[in-house]
């Protein structure tokens, strides 16, 4: 029996060279280094965001909703200078008592927030101030506020001695005293603020 001519041609022809496997180990190592370097350059060029805090579009609308749900006249910052941006406005219900919080970044990228509750729980102030020590008082708009400062100097607080709009009120944050004081002075119950709708 004779072999077909095409089978003879295939048997006598050399096998085709395999592409991709003809390089040396040295070439593979160089290729890997180039690929890794390229990836590192791309990673370095891609901007990363430390946090994704977006400005709150309508603090008054959220305050009205919380106020209606809780039957509270929550405080809002009314008339803050340019550069203050609301970033965190919410009713915190996870850790009793329910607490209204409206947080802002300051022009110096610090943080200041008003926190309020209707509860008379004495531990609320301790939790809001981070167990900071009392360091004095200040009179703002006819009300006395107690100043609290943590030992590490990272967080300060002002706690109002009398309720504001019927709610126990504190101003907390990393902002310097001058900014916390300015923020506390700007607080008004929503019903007495320029943010309250007139209709």
What's the pLDDT at 131? 84
Partners of 115 in beta bridges: 101, 170
- Report the C-alpha gap between 76 and 188 in whole angstroms: 6
Q: Which residues contact 11 (CB under 8 A, 6 or more apart)?
A: 3
The H-assigned helical ranges of the chain are: 5-12, 25-45, 59-70, 123-129, 177-186
Confirm if 77 and 104 have CB atoms less than 8 A apart. Answer: yes
SS3 168: strand
Tokens 């390229």, residue located: 38
What's the pLDDT at 38? 79
Tokens 């002075």, residue located: 185
DSSP conformational letter for 176? -
CA angle 131, 165, 74 (to 5 degrees): 75
Name the token pair of 86.
């609301």
What's the pLDDT at 7? 53
CATH numbers and ranges of domains, the chain: 59-192 (3.40.1000)
Count CB atoms within 10 A of the CB of residue 181. Answer: 18
Residue environment code for 52-81, b if the CB has 16+ CB neighbours within 10 A, otherwise e: eeeebeebbebbbebbeebebbbbbbbebe
Each residue's pLDDT tens digit in the chain (199 positions)? 555 555 555 556 666 555 555 668 888 888 889 888 877 776 766 655 444 455 666 888 999 999 999 999 999 999 899 999 999 899 999 989 999 999 999 998 899 999 999 999 989 999 999 889 999 999 998 999 999 999 887 899 999 999 999 999 999 999 999 999 999 999 999 998 877 665 4
Q: Which residues contact 60 (CB under 8 A, 6 or more apart)?
A: 76, 190, 193, 195, 196, 197
3-state secondary structure 63-105: HHHHHHHHCCCCEEECCCCCCCEEEEEEEECCCCCCEEEEEEE
Q: What is the pTM of this model?
A: 0.70
């Amino acid at each position: 029996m004779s072999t077909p001519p095409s089978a003879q041609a295939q048997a006598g022809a050399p096998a085709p060279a395999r592409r991709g496997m003809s390089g040396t180990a040295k070439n593979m190592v160089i290729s890997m280094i180039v690929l890794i370097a390229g990836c590192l350059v791309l990673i370095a060029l891609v901007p990363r965001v430390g946090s994704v805090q977006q400005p709150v579009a309508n603090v008054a609308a959220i305050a009205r909703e919380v106020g209606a749900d809780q039957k509270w006249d929550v405080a809002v910052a009314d008339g803050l200078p340019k550069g203050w941006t609301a970033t965190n406005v919410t009713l915190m219900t996870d850790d009793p008592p329910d607490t209204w919080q409206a947080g802002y970044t300051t022009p110096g990228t610090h943080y200041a927030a008003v926190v309020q509750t209707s509860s008379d729980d004495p531990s609320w102030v301790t939790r809001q101030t981070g167990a900071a020590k009392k360091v004095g008082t200040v009179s703002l708009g006819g009300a006395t506020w107690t100043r609290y400062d943590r030992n590490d100097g990272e967080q300060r607080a002002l706690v109002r001695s009398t309720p504001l709009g019927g709610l126990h009120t504190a101003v907390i944050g990393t902002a310097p005293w001058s900014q916390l004081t300015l923020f506390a002075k700007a607080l008004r119950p929503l019903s007495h603020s320029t943010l309250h709708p007139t209709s």
